[in-house]
Amino acid sequence: MIEPYVDHLVREEDGHKVISYGLSSFGYDLRISNEFYIFSNVCGSAVVDPKAFPEEAMVQRVVRPHEAIIVPPNTYVLGKSVEYVRVPDDVMTVCIGKSTYARCGIIVNVTPLEAGWEGQVTIEISNSTPLPAKVYACEGILQVLFFKGERPAVTYADRRGKYQGTKGVVFSRI
């Protein structure tokens, strides 16, 4: 269901504190990878359109594990999970940003992972503060909560959802 899977909450690596990840009391804390896309106005785009996403407005930044990227004030960044997630047909998830970041004005958004969906999770990060903020690569960023129910008549996989099987950061698709 989650690869790589860590069966406990990791708070330290090689003697250094990290933002926790792995199995928690009622969910699983995912890590953000070391690849980020930062919104920039270098292309002169005035509008972000979800029907015609301006990929040229994104600047890619790759950092070393545990290195921080700087998220400029009032800016939005896209990243991806380290983990590849497979959601069973009778489960759906809700993802919530970790309080460590929320208390610093960093808002983490991920839409629900639907029954039957699989892939690397595209993670949306917003710096709501007037100051630059750090986000640490390969450390915890969000918690996934799992809800078991009846299998829906049509799963995300059954309907061949547009984000099924994604690997890497995926921009808006219609």
Identify the active-site residue in 56, 124, 139, 150: 124
Q: Which residues contact 153 (CB under 8 A, 6 or more apart)?
A: none
| 101 three-class SS | helix
Identity of residue 169: V
Residue 169 lies in a domain: no
Count Cβ atoms below 10 Å from residue 90 Cβ, excluding itself: 14
Give how many domains the chain has, as a whole number: 1
57 located within any domain: yes
Q: What is the pLDDT of residues 97-156, one digit of tens each?
A: 999 999 999 999 999 999 999 999 999 999 999 999 999 999 999 999 999 999 999 999
pLDDT confidence of residue 96: 98
- Peptide bond preceding 4 in cis form (omega within 30 of 0): yes
Would the pTM of this model clear 0.75, i.e. be above it?
yes
Per-residue model confidence (pLDDT) at position 45: 60
Domain, as residue range, for 65: 2-148
Distance in angstroms (rounded) separating the CA atoms of residues 157 and 164: 7
Give a yes or no: residue 160 inside a domain. Answer: no
| 56 included as an active-site residue | no
Please write the tens of the pLDDT for every residue from 23-33. Answer: 999 999 999 99
158 in a structural domain? no
Q: Does a structural domain hold residue 170?
A: no
